[in-house]
């Protein structure tokens, strides 16, 4: 039996992070049997670090922190002021991550999470790499791993595939930066679900599991047997976090960016329970 920490994105439960919302998300995840909750920190200032950490410890749950940069804080830009604002957001998110006791911070942190109207440029890419190198060094000083989540073409013009992410990692040159693979995005951009995982090998450090329509696992077009098989093949032992979004739980900062227009589920507990069983079964198969 694989021992990957199994996680769930907070937006399965709540659209914000008031202490009341945090208590619902953390206690519900722990009760169902998850090991980890992923807390979105698009606005790091809305997370109360002290109470969040207390709740996580009380419920015996690990945490990871994720975010996507906004067009106004894009480090994949030629605008130096914009790049500097992005650096500030990343450093604030790292402070939150450290404060809640997370050892992982990832997401679309190499640039804005948005639909770009043009390809990236050499200068914008170089700005992103330079900030990421500084950020990785800062993260290392507090024992934090940085994950780069490559996403589909409508959400980034910089990293859409595993290979692009590995090439970017080589430019950054810091060993606490890993590839974050999300099967939802792989379904759109990759040739299959096995090759990119083998290409990443031990540089894969975080995984998102999501269905092609972002709803119940196993009801869309993602080839999960192939994907879980590839994770087993490379001996992946890191976190695997379930991500799903519905218009029944809305985060104003995140849901519109991800184009969550439809109601794919309304019962968070049923969804989360099914997903945990689905992941365990997928990892256990021969």
> How are beta strands 62-69 and 240-242 bridged, if at all?
unpaired
Q: Which of 119, 102, 99, 100 is nearest to 111 (CA)?
A: 119
Region from 109-117, 237-245, 260-268, 275-283 binding Mn ion, contact rule CB under 5 A: 237-245
Which segments of 2-88 are extended strands (E)? 6-9, 36-40, 62-69
- In this complex, which beta carbon is closest to Mn ion, that of residue 83 or of residue 271? 271
Cα distance between residue 106 and residue 110, in whole Å: 9
Q: How far is the CB of 237 from Mn ion (least distance, A)?
A: 19
- In this complex, which beta carbon is closest to Mn ion, that of residue 182 or of residue 251? 182
Q: How far is the CB of 84 from Mn ion (least distance, A)?
A: 26
Q: How far is the CB of 212 from Mn ion (least distance, A)?
A: 13
Q: What is the 3-state secondary structure (H, E, C) of 15-31?
A: CCCCHHHHHHHHHHHHH
Interaction of residue 35 with Mn ion, rule CB under 5 A: no
Q: Which of residues 238-257 bind Mn ion (CB under 5 A)?
A: 243
Q: How far is the CB of 149 from Mn ion (least distance, A)?
A: 6
CB 165 within 8 A of CB 129: no
- In this complex, which beta carbon is closest to Mn ion, that of residue 35 or of residue 182? 182
From the CB of residue 235, how many other CB atoms can be counted at a distance below 10 Å? 9
* Six token digits for residue 95: 């402070």
For the chain, give the longest Cα–Cα distance. Answer: 52
Active site residue 174: no
Q: Which of residues 105-124 bind Mn ion (CB under 5 A)?
A: none
Cα distance between residue 266 and residue 277, in whole Å: 19
Active site residue 54: no
Query: Mask: binding to Mn ion, 157-196, rule CB under 5 A, as x and -?
Result: -------------------------x--------------
Cα distance between residue 249 and residue 55, in whole Å: 21
CB 105 within 8 A of CB 147: yes
Q: What DSSP element (H or E) covers 113?
A: none
Q: Say which of 155, 190, 211, 243 is annotated catalytic.
A: 243
Region from 30-38, 50-58, 200-208, 267-275 binding Mn ion, contact rule CB under 5 A: 200-208
Q: Out of 85, 87, 98, 208, which residue is the one contacting Mn ion (CB under 5 A)?
A: 208
Q: How far is the CB of 259 from Mn ion (least distance, A)?
A: 13
- Active-site positions read 149, 243
The residue ranges that bind Mn ion (CB under 5 A) are 182, 208, 243
């Amino acid at each position: 039996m694989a021992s990957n920490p199994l996680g769930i994105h907070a937006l399965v439960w709540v659209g914000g992070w008031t202490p009341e919302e945090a208590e619902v998300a953390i206690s519900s995840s722990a009760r169902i049997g998850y090991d980890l909750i992923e807390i979105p920190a698009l606005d790091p200032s809305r997370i109360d670090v002290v109470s969040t950490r207390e709740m996580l410890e009380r419920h015996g749950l690990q945490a990871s922190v994720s975010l996507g940069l906004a067009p106004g804080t894009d480090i994949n830009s030629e605008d130096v002021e914009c790049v500097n604002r992005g650096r500030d957001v990343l450093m604030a998110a790292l402070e939150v991550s450290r404060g809640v006791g997370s050892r992982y911070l990832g997401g679309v942190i190499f640039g804005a999470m948005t639909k770009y109207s043009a390809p990236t440029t050499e200068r914008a890419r170089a700005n992103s790499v330079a900030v990421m190198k500084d950020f990785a060094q800062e993260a290392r000083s507090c024992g934090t791993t940085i994950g780069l989540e490559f996403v589909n073409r409508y959400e980034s013009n910089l990293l859409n595939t595993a290979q692009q992410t590995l090439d970017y990692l080589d430019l950054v040159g810091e060993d606490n930066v890993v590839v974050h693979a999300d099967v939802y995005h792989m379904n759109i951009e990759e040739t299959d679900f096995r090759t990119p995982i083998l290409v990443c090998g031990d540089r894969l450090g975080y995984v998102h599991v999501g269905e092609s329509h972002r709803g119940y696992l196993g009801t869309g077009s993602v080839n999960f047997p192939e994907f879980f098989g590839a994770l087993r093949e490379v001996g992946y032992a890191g976190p695997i976090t379930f991500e799903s979004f519905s218009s029944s739980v809305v985060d104003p900062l995140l849901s519109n960016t991800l184009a969550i227009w439809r109601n794919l589920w309304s019962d968070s507990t049923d969804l989360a329970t099914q997903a945990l069983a689905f992941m365990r079964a997928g990892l256990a198969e021969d």
